[in-house]
Structure 1
Amino acid sequence: MTAELVRGQNHPLDRTRVEIRVAAGGPVIAGVTLGDEQGRLSGAEAVAHPGAPRRTGIEVPRQAAAEHRIAVDLDALPEAVHRVSVLLALPTGIGGLTRFGAAAAPSVAVTGLDGTGIAGYTVTGLGAETAVVAVELYRRQGAWKVRAVGQGYADGLAAMLHDQGLPQAAELAAEIEEAVSQGHARAVPAPAPVAASRSEQSGAGTPGAAATGRPAPADTPVADGQAATSAAPAASSNAAPANGGPIDYRHPKRRATPKPAPAAPSGANAPSAAADGTPAPVAGDASGWSMEERLYNQVWGMFEDLARSVAAYRSASDFAESRLEQELDKALSDPRNRLGTAADVARATARDKHASLITQARAALDRDLAQLTAEADVVEPALPPALARWDNPVWQGYHVPQERPMALRLGDLHLPEVLDLRIPMLVRLPLERGLWIDSGPGSYVASGDPEREYGRRELGSALTDGPPDEAELGRLAMETAVAIAARLLAVHPAGDFAVQVIDPGGTAAPALAPLLETGALREVPPPGAQGVTTVLEALTRRVDLVQMAVRNRAADSLPPDVDTAEQLLIVHDFPHGFDDRALTQLRYLADEGPSVGVHLMMVADRAQCQEYGPVLDPLWRALLRITPVPDAHLADPWVGHAWTYEPPLVPKGSQVVRQVLGRLAEARG
């Protein structure tokens, strides 16, 4: 799986013989510099370039081309070499490009010799630069890593080599240009776009888990610093065109394998193109064997694209801030410039540059967001029930499925830069991780935070005025649990999924009403400690028996009273009614249950569980934490954004859950 890097990010190398593959929008020169621990070059012999393509452990191409392969054997490098920098430069008079910003952003991929992807980086944000240090391989404590650099130079190769401490930088740059000009007849033109889906490019990645041909993440974003389980994402597909135009939806990572174009529809249902000719987004425009899988992959691709677009914007904003500070310090370091008009001019110039950089970064982000918003507008209505919001009209035509889906929607995710664009949060089925719905005061963002206020508007009257108190949080947490349980029941064939509830205090009855009234929950949960014991012992016995039957291939020998349907256990009011034995059984179900179809959903306030000390820490870490009100606590596993999660609550006053469960009850009957 390939880790897609953003500027400044690093990734470990699991091998020492690698290939570095370069793809650009036109012919470029590719070279390598071999630096010491500070990145300084010992001399011209520390540079591999078209005029001297072979150095110890390194071989680079001899011509300018749109695609390159560089061979690197890290074990063969001299001991003094600690940094291997990959440089790209535009050749003079070949290809017609005078700056990197006039073509598609170059991309670099570090792969094994067999083509296995290790890490990739798309060098976005280039403008007037004619040379760039794309990535560097560096040695740290005996191990090698790759870092995305993306440092550009408007003054070309000479400036780049001089910056790395080479005294004869201008002479060597001229030598490289001469070597390239002699071989320009064999320069390779820019390749035609290859139609390949996002998921095909990444080799992994789907929101919550991967689809066919990719490891499937239980890989929802992870909460509170828990270890990520998602596959590495695909390369960024949202690089903004240098000419200021919109994003090209036909980017290879935004398209599935080409299909014959159908007859153009007419009328109100015809997809419209943008005024600039950009094709309109199409629902299901991703790879997959079925429409469900294509939509699933497309949603995950939207999630990846939004993460990378915002990461690029934040990186550019940070760069603008640091550059502003540097220029102000430089301008005011001379005492003669601290007073009078010179100081004012210096400050104004630095701030103007800062504002210009921020404006450019925001414009690129806005172009990406416009495309993603347009895509979301066509994808959301096309989602099947398992992936759709409760207010989606698809639930009005609900029919009991004949087979279970590949994934389930657990809510929505958004980032503060674009509050109105929500990406479905999907997890693969069957659930590999249980859920912890936090009902404590720590499960919401403080009142007054714009994310909190946005969430309040979206949930409408589900929240009372002012910060939710403990009772309201408990009610919302249980309603969230019932909404998720109802969805799980509805997307499985009749009789293939069942729900059990532990409610020692008997306080969950109002929230459980839809399940009880439709027969989805067979009886009111038994109260008290005895009720806890009864449910846990029955499920523990089921896990033990099914595990033994699976190991011995003796499923037919299971006792007739063992329900082989998948089970969801909702634990409410935890830890009330639990003793040490019950707690041990609960942890056993969390660890062993998912493999044999028993899944756990905790509705609890972690603060109230502190009396158990570290005993509950493994349980807490094993479950995916979600919240009953919007909260920015989920982190994606590659750029680490704090995503705001919104729960899948049913719209107030809607009877959709009762209607769906009623149809399911008819099918069971």
Structure 2
Amino acid sequence: MTAELVRGQNHPLSQVRLEIRVSAGVPVVAAATLSDENDKARGVEWVAHPGAPTLPGLEVSRQAATDHRLAVDLAAMPEAVHRVNVLLALPSAGGGPLRFGAVGAPTVTVTGLDGIGIARFTLAGLDAESAVVALELYRRQGAWKVRAVGQGYAGGLAALFTDQRLPGAAELAGGIQEAVARGLARSVPAPPPRTSDADRTRRTATPVSGVDQPGPSSQGAPDAEPPRPASPYDDPGQSTYGAQAPGGQGPSPYPDSGPEQQAGGAAAPGPSSAPGTGGIDYTHPNRRHTAPPPPPPQAPPAPSGQPARPVAGDAAGWSMDERLYNQVWGMFEDLARTTAAYRSAVEFADSRRDKELDHLLSDPRSRIGAAGDAAREAAGARHAQLVDEARAVLDRDLAQLTAEAEVVEPALPPAYARWDNPVWHGYRVPTDFPMALRLGDLHLPESVPLRIPMLARLPLERGLWIDSGPATGLDASFADSTDRRGLAMETAMALAARLLAVHPVGEFAVQVIDPAGSGSTALMPLVRTGVLAAPPAAGAAGVADVLARLTQRVDLVQMALRAGAPESLPPGLDTAQQLLVVNDFPHGFDDRAVNQLRYLADEGPSVGVHLVMVADREDASAYGPLLDPLWRSLMRLTPVPDDHLADPWVGHAWTYEPSLVPPGSQVLQHVLAQVAEARTKYK
């Protein structure tokens, strides 16, 4: 359990390899100084900061950000080091706040490498300070401890370094601020900034990087921004919404599987495997360009004093699909940021009110009577004013994002669109490979009407686990009903149908394992139109046959790629990407079948075999540790709205809703009929 520290309190550290996570409502600079037994830093070489981020046993972030992760290895610290001071400072450039009293209280958490919290300290009560020693790690009788410090300095980093008796304190502070201002040594480009508040329409989202467009260096990944997403997914029990930045492979929904998945972003794993490497190439499947992408379309001029009108596809990219993909990512990022700022402001208002009331109650003379009542009323009024101001900013941002969603949603291609989007009525079997796939929608409690599409990069780098167990989230109406299992299979069927519909004919095949036939109703559209590669496999024999064939396919393709001889594959081998949908797991599965399923989940994606499981983990609990690696390798989705997608970037729990065909709609039959007709002509 994470210890909640107050100023001056200490706590023992049972681990030497740690992560220090910083969360603030505005971008801050994170740094650290090392001190000897006399509590003195011996020189600038004992300071880790954005311009020089690494020291033995220590690495800090390379840029100002709202969230940081500092890596600490106390066992690697030089013997002369007896204290590690973690510092936070507000950047002097960029037009941001110049004192901590104007922003929400930052929070600093010490965790193990497994993400489990050890100690947390919220720096409440700051006012005119622009730099602060947040906490310190120190040796005591051969062991390490952490102490909450919270010592602030109105004179900024220069005053802080002077207090630590560092030579050239002012010059060092100026150098750090200059490094931050110029973005020196930035390992991952910061997400594209919004324009001014009067013009909040996105203009320059970062295009997806690929083989023809060098991506950012992977050096210094711990401070990559955004999450990653993606992921994302670091803590056991939390999985990610394929949250990858459009520009690379940073925090992506991460292998994990518990009751929560990580959300991290609006997109997940990327489009095509690099032959022979098993890696994912994030280049758009059809890109052949080496020149920079064309500029995005410009918004029409807005009336004076009004925000610019949103435009669909106004992010950067080589194609409209790529621009829309990047724009959706930007919308997710903007919603995450504005909500984080609002929550931080509310926490600050709560903390300030509590501090004022504590001060009031500590004096018996003002505790009762008219003066006490007036002071309480004044504290409440100040709290309400701060919250109202924060809500006004949030409402403004939500209004702009809602306006943007209203123009983006109708412009989405079939792979990104909801099933009720008119684009499906003009559907034609595509000739190009899709870049991403809509898995559902995401939203936050503060913005329930606003839905952000959850786009997963293709091919799927991770399989999916659609939970058919009792509901624990927002909609528990299916907790004790078999309807939940049927709805889970419906969700899997909608995903399978969408994958078939958005791939060129002959390039994607779907196989189904339904041992007891319980999914026959949900599978009827796929079976009736004949778009499945084979009838759903039933019984233990059917399970064994399908798994044996797909396992053999993975083995053959892997061997051919490693040998550099893809032409040596057997003539009858289906080279189309394969999606295996497994219903009612573990019914019909023995230990051998479970191991084969694990193998497909781990090795299949790199050679075009993908997995969607419809199951209740409790049903498979008898497998114990045998099932855990499979559970952890898949991204968990739910058939009903559930706030289980964790965003490691800003700590939000996003509510996920699946993308289902509207009741009574004939759009699925229309689409699958065209897919079936195209398959007949193709053969």
Instruction: Report the TM-score range of the alignment, normalised by the length of the smaller protein.
Output: 0.5 to 0.7
Distance 2:405 2:263 in 1: 25
Mapped contact 1:33–1:41 kept (Cα < 8 A): no
Residues 216, 491 of structure 1: alpha-carbon distance in 2 compared, 3 angstrom cutoff: farther
Mapped contact 1:224–1:634 kept (Cα < 8 A): no
The answer as to 2:321 corresponding to 1:282 is: no
Distance 1:396 1:498 in 2: 23
Q: Compute the displacement of 1:356 (Å).
A: 1.6
Q: Compute the displacement of 1:151 (Å).
A: 9.8
Sequence identity of aligned pairs in percent? 56
Counterpart in the other structure of 1:490: 501
The answer as to 2:161 corresponding to 1:132 is: no
Distance 2:432 2:511 in 1: 22
Distance 2:453 2:314 in 1: 16
SS of aligned partner of 2:504: coil
Distance 2:349 2:564 in 1: 63
Tell me which amino acid in the other structure corresponds to 1:589.
L
Tell me which amino acid in the other structure corresponds to 2:400.
Q
Q: Compute the displacement of 1:504 (Å).
A: 1.2
Distance 2:319 2:357 in 1: 57
Distance 2:89 2:392 in 1: 28
Instruction: Using the TM superposition, name which of 611-620 and 642-651 deviates more.
Output: 611-620
Mapped contact 2:439–2:658 kept (Cα < 8 A): yes
**RMSD of aligned C-alpha atoms?**
5.1
Residues 322, 650 of structure 1: alpha-carbon distance in 2 compared, 3 angstrom cutoff: same
Mapped contact 2:205–2:326 kept (Cα < 8 A): no
Distance 1:90 1:589 in 2: 52
Q: Compute the displacement of 1:560 (Å).
A: 2.9
Counterpart in the other structure of 1:499: 510
Counterpart in the other structure of 1:249: none
Residues 193, 358 of structure 1: alpha-carbon distance in 2 compared, 3 angstrom cutoff: closer
Counterpart in the other structure of 2:380: 351
Cα deviation per residue 1:247-293 (whole Å; 9 max; x = unaligned)?
Answer: xxxxxxxxxx997797x9xxxxx857366232122222222222211
What is the TM-score with the length of structure 1 in the denominator?
0.68
Tell me which amino acid in the other structure corresponds to 1:555.
P
Map 1:114-263 → 2, pairs under 5 A: 132-133=130-131, 157=155, 196-197=204-205, 208=242, 210=244, 213-215=247-249, 219=253, 224=258
Q: Compute the displacement of 1:424 (Å).
A: 0.8
The answer as to 2:333 corresponding to 1:331 is: no
Task: Identify unmatched segments of 5+ residues in structure 1.
Answer: 1-11, 16-21, 25-29, 47-53, 61-67, 106-127, 169-174, 181-187, 234-256, 265-269, 448-465
Tell me which amino acid in the other structure corresponds to 2:205.
S
Q: 2:639 aligns with which of 628, 642, 665?
A: 628
Residues 337, 13 of structure 1: alpha-carbon distance in 2 compared, 3 angstrom cutoff: same
Q: Compute the displacement of 1:73 (Å).
A: 7.8
Tell me which amino acid in the other structure corresponds to 1:525.
P
Mapped contact 1:412–1:646 kept (Cα < 8 A): yes
Mapped contact 1:133–1:150 kept (Cα < 8 A): no
Q: Compute the displacement of 1:583 (Å).
A: 1.6
Mapped contact 1:132–1:150 kept (Cα < 8 A): no
Q: Compute the displacement of 1:219 (Å).
A: 3.0
What is the TM-score with the length of structure 2 in the denominator?
0.67
Q: 1:543 aligns with which of 554, 569, 576?
A: 554
Distance 1:546 1:402 in 2: 24
Q: 2:453 aligns with which of 414, 419, 424?
A: 424
Q: 1:593 aligns with which of 587, 590, 604?
A: 604
Q: Compute the displacement of 1:655 (Å).
A: 1.2
Residues 503, 73 of structure 1: alpha-carbon distance in 2 compared, 3 angstrom cutoff: closer
Distance 1:619 1:645 in 2: 22
Query: Alignment length, in residue pairs?
Result: 540
Distance 2:628 2:27 in 1: 47
Map 1:347-426 → 2, pairs under 5 A: 347-426=376-455
Tell me which amino acid in the other structure corresponds to 2:653.
A
Tell me which amino acid in the other structure corresponds to 1:305.
D
Counterpart in the other structure of 1:647: 658
Mapped contact 1:59–1:70 kept (Cα < 8 A): no
Cα deviation per residue 1:148-174 (whole Å; 9 max; x = unaligned)?
Answer: x99998xx5399969x99699xxxxxx
Residues 667, 353 of structure 1: alpha-carbon distance in 2 compared, 3 angstrom cutoff: same
Mapped contact 1:402–1:492 kept (Cα < 8 A): yes
Residues 323, 613 of structure 1: alpha-carbon distance in 2 compared, 3 angstrom cutoff: same
Residues 89, 514 of structure 1: alpha-carbon distance in 2 compared, 3 angstrom cutoff: closer
Distance 1:600 1:98 in 2: 46
SS of aligned partner of 2:451: strand
Residues 643, 401 of structure 1: alpha-carbon distance in 2 compared, 3 angstrom cutoff: same
Tell me which amino acid in the other structure corresponds to 1:640.
G
Residues 218, 563 of structure 1: alpha-carbon distance in 2 compared, 3 angstrom cutoff: farther
Distance 1:319 1:327 in 2: 12
Distance 1:193 1:223 in 2: 34
Q: 2:529 aligns with which of 507, 511, 518?
A: 518
Residues 412, 57 of structure 1: alpha-carbon distance in 2 compared, 3 angstrom cutoff: same
Q: Compute the displacement of 1:527 (Å).
A: 2.4
Residues 220, 514 of structure 1: alpha-carbon distance in 2 compared, 3 angstrom cutoff: farther
Map 1:403-482 → 2, pairs under 5 A: 403-442=432-471, 444-447=473-476, 467=478, 469-482=480-493
Distance 1:541 1:98 in 2: 58
Mapped contact 1:499–1:570 kept (Cα < 8 A): yes
Greater helix share, structure number: 1
Counterpart in the other structure of 2:187: none
Mapped contact 2:34–2:81 kept (Cα < 8 A): no
The answer as to 2:638 corresponding to 1:638 is: no
Tell me which amino acid in the other structure corresponds to 1:478.
M
Mapped contact 1:589–1:600 kept (Cα < 8 A): yes
Counterpart in the other structure of 2:329: 300
Cα deviation per residue 1:55-105 (whole Å; 9 max; x = unaligned)?
Answer: 644899xxxxxxx986678579994663364656989xxx9x99859xx99
The answer as to 2:590 corresponding to 1:579 is: yes
Residues 559, 319 of structure 1: alpha-carbon distance in 2 compared, 3 angstrom cutoff: same
Counterpart in the other structure of 1:656: 667
Instruction: Using the TM superposition, name which of 473-482 and 204-213 deviates more.
Output: 204-213
Mapped contact 2:314–2:323 kept (Cα < 8 A): yes
Q: Compute the displacement of 1:445 (Å).
A: 3.0
Distance 1:298 1:98 in 2: 25
Task: Identify unmatched segments of 5+ residues in structure 2.
Answer: 1-15, 20-25, 57-76, 104-125, 175-180, 183-192, 196-202, 208-214, 217-223, 230-240, 268-291
Mapped contact 1:499–1:569 kept (Cα < 8 A): yes
Mark the structure with the bigger radius of gyration.
1
Q: Compute the displacement of 1:524 (Å).
A: 3.2
Q: Compute the displacement of 1:229 (Å).
A: 9.7
Distance 2:265 2:52 in 1: 26
Residues 311, 442 of structure 1: alpha-carbon distance in 2 compared, 3 angstrom cutoff: same
Q: 1:611 aligns with which of 622, 627, 630?
A: 622
Q: Compute the displacement of 1:221 (Å).
A: 10
Residues 203, 325 of structure 1: alpha-carbon distance in 2 compared, 3 angstrom cutoff: closer
Residues 640, 221 of structure 1: alpha-carbon distance in 2 compared, 3 angstrom cutoff: farther
SS of aligned partner of 2:415: helix
Distance 2:206 2:296 in 1: 20
Counterpart in the other structure of 2:85: 83
